A and B are shown apart, each in its own frame.
Chain A
Amino acid sequence: MLLRRTAGWPRWEWTGPFDELERLRRQMDLLTGGLAGGRVVSAPAAGVFPLMNVTEDKDNYYVRAELPGLRADDLELSVTGDTLSISGERKIPAEDEKAQYHRRERDAGRFSRIVTLPAQLNTSQVEARCTDGVLTVVLPKAEEAKPRQIAVKAS
């Protein structure tokens, strides 16, 4: 009991060595983010398949992901408020039973990911398409989240 009261470390809510690493990583991100102007979050990624690129212009956010072999109907997309969730399954059809493999680098499996965008979205106008194995989701920003020109009145 005495030990518990006097020794402040390790604290009892301390759950594992990775918490500390995670805290350090966040601090590093803050530092480097500060240098980059705090805009672009670069790799390492969230560690969830698929990897995504998010860009924006005045009116929309664009979310892109490389999903070779997937069609639009293999994917399930949903949007709420400021989040987009994508889930699906990549299937690699079985080949001839007699086929002998030299290389097998392509993976199959299920995935699901959720991303939070920096602003609210106009959820009724979201468009998604899958071309040449690249998914593009166009998410219009909600009216109140769009930048607005403010006219300065001369008095």
Chain B
Amino acid sequence: MTDTDSKSLQVKEKAELSTPAEQTRPGLVFTPAVDIFETDKEITLLADMPGVTSSELNIDLRDDMLTLDGDVKPPEGADETDVIREYRTGKYYRQFTLSQVIDQAKIDAELKDGVLRLTLPKVQAATPRKIVVKS
């Protein structure tokens, strides 16, 4: 981890969603960058969604399909004019299929400084059990 910490950050343009689900409102849609990892007990998802507030973020899990949907209001004031525009703002949308059975009642989501942390605990039956081979 220390290795990656000290490198310098490279510019990465936000990935625009190429085939957005049918939209009723015009606007850009981006796919947030995510980290997903799992331990024996839970799956954790971290997503970078700068500009999203907790009230504008929808997390939906049904039929093993996890959907993240965050809305961003343009931060610019009405009478501001562009000088340099290097990045664009818009909605964030991304879907994942979960192969594990998730305990829906215990899902925990936390949004802090534009980073979503979603903890999805596996149900008891799905946690791997060590199988002892008898000799």
Contacts and interface: CB of A to CB of B under 8 A. Distances in A.
Interface of A: 39-43, 45-58, 61-62, 64, 66-71, 89-92, 94-96, 98-111, 115, 117-118, 130, 132-134, 136
- Which bracket fits the contact residues of B? 35 or more
A43 B49 CA distance: 21
Contact of B38 (A99, A118, A132): A99
Q: Which of A54, A55, A115 counts the most chain B CB atoms within 10 A?
A: A55
B37 A102 contact: yes
Interface SS of chain B: helix, strand, loop or mixed?
loop
Given A55-B80, A96-B39, A69 B11 contact: no
Main secondary structure on A side of the interface with B: loop
B80 A62 contact: yes
Interface string B98-135: 00000000000000111100000000000000000000
Nearest to A69: B115
Given A51-B13, A55-B80, A133 B114 contact: yes
Given A69-B114, A109-B8, A132-B114, A103 B86 contact: no
